[in-house]
Amino acid sequence: MSFLPTEVFPVIVPTRSSLKSFNFYIVKNEDGLSLIDAGVNTTKCWEFFNQALEDHGFTLDDFDQIILTHNHEDHVGLVDRIVAQHDIPVYVPERSIHRLKRDRSFFQMRIEFFAELYKEMGCGEAGERQVEKLKEAVQYHEEKKLHAELTAIGPDTFSTLTPVETPGHSPDHMIFHSSSEKMIFGGDLLLKHISSNALVEPDRKGNRIRTVLEHERSLERCAALDADVVYAGHGELIRDHRELIEKRLHGIQRKANRILKQIQSGIHTASELAQTMYQDKYEIQFSLVMSEIIGHLDYLEAHGKVEKEKRDGVCYYSSIN
Ligand SMILES: [Zn+2]
């Protein structure tokens, strides 16, 4: 078999948000021409993509497939536009499909999941407001449904890229490793300039995923891979992934320890912890802040540092000495 060295052409779309940029990648190798992730669904992003094609002498017709790392809308934005013009397979993690297809019963269950969770975490009215927002977003969800046919990625779907399950940031997250080329397409697992959030989510059956613990394991899995470069979903490319992963793992520990100190000083519910530690952000970035607190409480619980007790439907955390 002739061996084609991999060539990667990044598409970098700047944004003013803390993410810095939306990145996706045109990849040429023996699997043909692939697009890994597909940016946001905006005119600006579409124009950047078309400019990149022109700069490198490609057209849409050259593509053989689209590959997605996870279901977040800033990674799947251009899929339908591309497939409408050039019908190619779209490979996605198996666990992305019901989210990308906006499965009604799943999103209904997800609302009930968060209503119950925020109650348990003592969020009161702030939690109820968030649940109302989720209900309003159901319509919006329908509009975001991908129309393209989606194919689940299996271990042998690609000859040159190994898919590696890396849940945590999202339950479906995958990265793609080329051992011969020493490169990783990392999605949002690892970002150079900010730590990637591990967002609380239910699995398909409605059970809460221990997201920070999963994220930690996924980072370790990534550190075990040999690579000179990680092509990240936002910000700069990463040349020293093991060092950066070390830093991120310490960051998780540090954050968990800060929460532990608050618990030892007499704060016992996730909601009170969030308000004490994040103040205004508790209201403004409610779901993000609660994900941080709940995820790190799981971490402390798994490491035998805290235990929880449910009273009147609310979880109270206390430290184990
Ligand atoms: Zn993401």
User: pLDDT confidence of 144, banded at 50, 70, 90?
Assistant: confident
User: pLDDT confidence of 128, banded at 50, 70, 90?
Assistant: very high
Strand order in the sheet with 7-14: 7-14, 21-29, 32-36, 63-67, 90-92, 150-152
Q: What is the four-CA torsion angle of 72, 75, 81, 87, rounded to 10 degrees?
A: -100
User: pLDDT confidence of 194, banded at 50, 70, 90?
Assistant: very high
Q: How many angstroms separate the alpha carbon of residue 187 from the centre of ligand 1?
A: 7
Q: How many angstroms separate the alpha carbon of residue 75 from the centre of ligand 1?
A: 7
Q: What 8-state DSSP symbol labels residue 207?
A: P
Q: How many angstroms separate the alpha carbon of residue 76 from the centre of ligand 1?
A: 10
Taking a C-beta distance cutoff of 8 angstroms, is the pair 265, 319 a contact? no
Q: How many angstroms separate the alpha carbon of residue 67 from the centre of ligand 1?
A: 15
Q: What is the pLDDT of residues 1-58, one digit of tens each?
A: 556 779 999 999 999 999 999 999 999 999 899 999 999 999 999 999 999 999 999 9
Q: How many angstroms separate the alpha carbon of residue 23 from the centre of ligand 1?
A: 11
- The residue-averaged pLDDT of 239-250 equals 98
Q: How many angstroms separate the alpha carbon of residue 159 from the centre of ligand 1?
A: 26
Q: How many angstroms separate the alpha carbon of residue 3 from the centre of ligand 1?
A: 32
Q: How many angstroms separate the alpha carbon of residue 127 from the centre of ligand 1?
A: 23
d(CA 279, CA 198): 20
Q: How many angstroms separate the alpha carbon of residue 57 from the centre of ligand 1?
A: 29
Contacts of residue 312, defined as CB under 8 A and 6 or more positions apart, other chains included, come to none
- The residue-averaged pLDDT of 83-111 equals 95
> Which two three-digit tokens encode residue 288?
């993000």
The per-residue pLDDT for 15 is: 96
Q: How many angstroms separate the alpha carbon of residue 38 from the centre of ligand 1?
A: 12
The per-residue pLDDT for 206 is: 92
Cα angle 149-197-114, degrees, rounded to a multiple of 5:
75
The per-residue pLDDT for 2 is: 54
Q: How many angstroms separate the alpha carbon of residue 95 from the centre of ligand 1?
A: 14
Q: How many angstroms separate the alpha carbon of residue 25 from the centre of ligand 1?
A: 15
- The residue-averaged pLDDT of 115-121 equals 97
Q: How many angstroms separate the alpha carbon of residue 209 from the centre of ligand 1?
A: 16
The per-residue pLDDT for 4 is: 77
The per-residue pLDDT for 247 is: 98
Q: How many angstroms separate the alpha carbon of residue 256 from the centre of ligand 1?
A: 22
Q: What 8-state DSSP symbol labels residue 204?
A: T
d(CA 236, CA 56): 20
Parse the chain into domains and list their residue ranges.
Answer: 7-101+146-239, 104-141+249-319
Q: How many angstroms separate the alpha carbon of residue 74 from the centre of ligand 1?
A: 7
The per-residue pLDDT for 129 is: 95
Domain covering 7-101+146-239: architecture: 4-Layer Sandwich (3.60)
